[in-house]
Every structure is written in structure tokens, then in C-alpha cells.
Amino acid sequence: MMPAYVSHFGLKQAPFTKEVADADLWLPASKTALVDDLVEAVSERSSVVLVGEPGVGKTCVLRALRHRLPQAGFRLTYCHNATLGRRDFYRQLCLALGLTPNATAASVFFSVSAHVEELGRERVHPVFLLDEAHLLHQDTLDHLHILLNYSWDSKALLSLILVGLPELDDRLAARRNRSLFSRLGRRLHISQLTPEDTTEYLRLRLERAGCEREVFPSDSIAMLHEAATGALRDIDRLATAALREAARKKKKLVERDVIARVLDAEATRPGDET
């Protein structure tokens, strides 16, 4: 059932959910540039680290990459369960690649690297997308540079894209991880949104949901932007709460007082006091 605010604002669907199709992703110049960098990196068969704060749109950028890369020539494999130990990490990779996972750590590693070599012979470039990589076990991190080693480390048959929170950079910079870090040729960062980005994002997502008129006046957007500290997931949550609140009060415009009530309600949630 559609929430009441959806019909109140004459929308076709809830505008700020995570269920946005790859083709409908919001791609301002800053994000297009990131996707360009990723496309270029994998076309050059390099590996990448991409960091950013929670909710700034890292995983959505990976989806935009999936949408942009030509089907032929690349094989993307997405892994997001980073909390596994090394053997289970490779077993998960085997399953994602459609291989039967073997029992021992050596044999699962061998299956994955043999598969990479096989794809190389077929002129397909595999790209392993390791999301939430700040959570990778140290014993997995210790080993990843070995996964990049083919033909005495003279062939670039695989790209790794490690994606995570900024602490991933700190982990990679640690002395113990320098063999891997030195092999990550592109080091990218997603910044928080600017106020102009927030305005454009709200407009685009409302438009995709079937609304072309102004719903959030500019001073409300400024409040939302400041409260969300430039993270898209926080904007989604606050904008949804504000639409719901405005609909309850039968208002067609989400004005500052509505945003203020939403922010107050979040700030005074029972159990949050310290």
C-alpha cells in the first residue's frame, strides 16, 4: 500500500526510497566524473579504492558503473559481505562467480584465480567490486595482492574495486597493507553534497516520482541540507519524514516549520538522551 503522503502530493510512488533503477540514478557532473574515472581504471585494467562517508552514494556509483560498462568485455562481480575470514571470503567469491567452492583455502583460491585466467583467455576482464571493504578481515587484506598476481605478476587480468568508509584508506595506508595499497592505482573519494547538489537531487527524485512543481522551497532545502550534512541517505530519510508531516497537516508546500518539527522529533527521540 502506498503511504498517504504519496497521493497527497500527487506522486506515482514514494520519491526517496532506495529502489531507484540504475538508469534513473542522479548523476551530477561530480558523480559522472567518478564513474568516468572508474570506467577508465577498469579499461586500463587497474585496481581502485573508493571511499566516502556513509550514505554519500558509493554503492550507487558502483551501480552507475554497472549501467555504463559495456556488457561484452567485462564481468562484474559484486561482494558485500566483507566480514568473512579469508577462506570463506574466497568461497563467497567462488559462489558469486558460479564456481563450486572447494574445501581448503588453497583450493578455493586456486579456483578463483584459474577462473580469472580463463576469462583472460576469453578476452573478458573480470572486475571484483568489494563493497564495505573497511570491514575486510586482516587475513583477507593480507592476501588480496596475491589474487592480482598472474604470470609472475606480469599480467593485469583482474581489477579490484575496494569501496568503503574513509577508515579504509587508513587501513590500507598501514605498513602491513602496503603491498595491496601500492597496487591500487586509482584512489578516489566521494565528497559530501554541496547545497546546489541537494537542490538538484530533491528536484530530480521528485520529478522521477511524477512531481514537477515546487514542494521544498529554497529555505527548507537549506535546512535539510545542513541537517543531512551532505549525505544522500540522510536527505532521503528527512525529506520523506517532512513530506509525511506536511501531508498530515494538509500542506502542499514543505516549509521551514515542517522541517523544524521533523528535526526536533529526531533530536528528542526517547532513549536517545545521553
Ligand X SMILES: Nc1ncnc2c1ncn2[C@@H]1O[C@H](COP(=O)(O)OP(=O)(O)OP(=O)(O)O)[C@@H](O)[C@H]1O
Indicate the residue type of 113: S
For ligand X, the binding residue among 112, 162, 232, 246 (CB under 6 A) is 232
245 binding ligand X? (CB under 6 A):
no
59 binding ligand X? (CB under 6 A):
yes
- Taken as a whole, the chain contains a residue count of 274
228 binding ligand X? (CB under 6 A):
no
Number of residues in contact with ligand X, rule: CB under 6 A? 18
199 binding ligand X? (CB under 6 A):
no
- Alpha helix positions (H), 209-255: 218-228, 232-248
The whole-angstrom distance between residue 174's C-alpha and the CA centroid of its chain comes to: 24
Closer to ligand X by Cβ: residue 5 or 109: 5
The torsion defined by the Cα of 265, 270, 272 and 274, in degrees rounded to 10, comes to 120
C-alpha cell at 72: 561484452
Provide the minimum distance between the beta carbon of 215 and ligand X in the complex, in angstroms, as a whole number.
17
Q: Indicate which of ligand X, Mg ion, none lies near residue 258 (CB less than 5 to 8 Å, by partner kind).
A: none
Closer to ligand X by Cβ: residue 236 or 245: 236
Q: What's the start-to-end Cα distance of the chain, in Å? A: 37
Euclidean distance between CA atoms 171 and 96, whole angstroms: 26
Comparing CA positions, the residue from 4, 16, 8 lying closest to residue 253 is 8
46 binding Mg ion? (CB under 5 A):
no
Q: Indicate which of ligand X, Mg ion, none lies near residue 60 (CB less than 5 to 8 Å, by partner kind).
A: ligand X
77 binding Mg ion? (CB under 5 A):
no
The answer to whether 261 and 245 have CB atoms below 8 angstroms apart is yes
For Mg ion, the binding residue among 43, 46, 59, 192 (CB under 5 A) is 59
For ligand X, the binding residue among 54, 73, 166, 217 (CB under 6 A) is 54
Angle of helix 86-96 relative to helix 138-147, nearest 10 degrees, comes to: 50
> In the window 22-41, what residues touch ligand X (CB under 6 A)?
25-27, 31
CB atoms near residue 263 (< 10 Å): 17
C-alpha cell at 97: 562467480
Provide the minimum distance between the beta carbon of 131 and Mg ion in the complex, in angstroms, as a whole number.
6
Closer to ligand X by Cβ: residue 11 or 116: 11
Contacts with Mg ion by CB under 5 A lie at 58-59
Contacts with ligand X by CB under 6 A lie at 18, 20, 25-27, 31, 52, 54-60, 165, 232-233, 236
